[in-house]
Structure 1
Amino acid sequence: MLQTLLVSGYKAHELGIFSDNHEGVYYIKKALEQRITSLIDEGLEWVLISGQPGVEMWTAEVIFDLQLEYPNLKLAVLTPFLEQETRWKENVQEKYQEILLNADFVDSVSRKPYESPQQLRVKNQFLVQKSDAILLLYDEEKDGSPKYYLDAAKQKQEMDNSYEIFYITAYDLDVLVQDEQWNRNE
């Protein structure tokens, strides 16, 4: 049974998105909402993120909206290390702090500020181990930061073939955009 879902994907800048008003954010959040809602029906209780700007922060916003309809759905933010937001822009830091305040569980995998990339690898392994499945906004044709989660997820899947890897791809987003435009024109 799928109770805990790790959600990640590209950082906003990897998608060329530099504002939450970007049209793409709407479609990404819609795709996340559809996928997560379908998994709630299968018993999903917890969504895990590490709090990165981009897909992970948008996931948090989707979860907060879904919690109005599904009050048993919970969000855990497990950061790789303390104070991960210190180098982010002020508006991103504010949004991050709001997410931490509203999350159901917040902790850091490493109880120290950033020291080395090893902390990120440990975080990837830890979050994959703590989840029953992963949902990645990722396209294997377009390299990026989600690749590291995918590597850890594939390793876990080799040892535990019940571990599921779900994707939201560029194709999925294109279909969603076309459907939305079609529905608007009717």
Structure 2
Amino acid sequence: MKTIQTMVISGYRSFELGVFQEKDPKIAVIKKVIKMTLQQYLDEGLEWVLIGGNLGVEIWAGQVVLELQKEYPELKLGILFPFEGFGEQWNEKNQQLLTELKTQANYVNATSHASYQNPSQLKNHTQFLLEHAGGAILVYDDEYPGKTQFFVKDAREFAEKNPFLVHQISMDDLQNIVFAGDSV
């Protein structure tokens, strides 16, 4: 298989995982699994990670990328929002998280330069991410549906017709890290 230079990361929103505090131990587990997964792809030539900026897995993945840049300076973080003004309705603490990530990202833009108008902006955003990446890392379990199910469905359909890798991290994968006894 050819080298994947760009990967999209998505997954559950924080509220879908019952995570409401920055110190929640679930975050450390998810970040560890994302880091381990990214390191595999970095050793194979990964250069860019793209996220959409959603609270939860995407923000945590962005934070992991920034940590990994110390060890892998060639790794870059791109944040592509589905529309202008994304996250402006969030509470101050969450807006601060997003702002910190945006200021450190290598690239920040939106696929639609209008504020939210309709669901087609989200569909176009997904299509853009799929077409500009070689794969997706998805923290998502089919047994526990969430908002990411639409991205997962589109990514699988895209992968059937294109050379695109879908790397899914399930709840079992997360549990295995917890039970492996590795320090998180």
More helix by share: 1
TM-score by length of 2: 0.96
Structure 1 unaligned spans of 5+: none
Q: Is the 8 A contact 1:133 1:164 kept in 2?
A: yes
Distance 2:16 2:118 in 1: 22
Give the deviation of 1:165 after TM superposition.
0.4
Pair 1:32-2:34 in alignment:
yes
Query: Which residue identity lines up with residue 178 of structure 2 in the other structure?
Result: V
Q: Is the 8 A contact 1:48 1:76 kept in 2?
A: yes
Give the deviation of 1:87 after TM superposition.
1.4
Q: Is the 8 A contact 1:135 1:168 kept in 2?
A: yes
The corresponding residue for 1:163 is 164
Give the deviation of 1:147 after TM superposition.
1.1
The corresponding residue for 2:147 is 145
The corresponding residue for 1:172 is 173
For residues 93-147 of structure 1, what are the alpha-carbon distances to aligned partners after superposition, in whole Å with 9 as ceiling and x for unaligned? 0110110110000100000111111111111111011110000000001111111
Counterparts in 2 of 1:12-23, with a 5 A limit? 12-23=14-25
The corresponding residue for 1:122 is 124
TM-score by length of 1: 0.95
Give the deviation of 1:89 after TM superposition.
1.2
Give the deviation of 1:158 after TM superposition.
1.6
Give the deviation of 1:157 after TM superposition.
1.1
Q: Give the length in aligned residue pairs.
A: 181
For residues 163-182 of structure 1, what are the alpha-carbon distances to aligned partners after superposition, in whole Å with 9 as ceiling and x for unaligned? 110011100111100113xx
Counterparts in 2 of 1:103-122, with a 5 A limit? 103-122=105-124
Pair 1:44-2:46 in alignment:
yes
The corresponding residue for 2:93 is 91
Give the deviation of 1:19 after TM superposition.
1.1
Please identify runs of 4+ aligned residues in structure 1 that moved more than 6 A.
Answer: none
Distance 2:172 2:34 in 1: 14
Query: Which residue identity lines up with residue 37 of structure 2 in the other structure?
Result: R
Give the deviation of 1:149 after TM superposition.
1.2
Identity of aligned residues (%): 35
Structure 2 unaligned spans of 5+: none
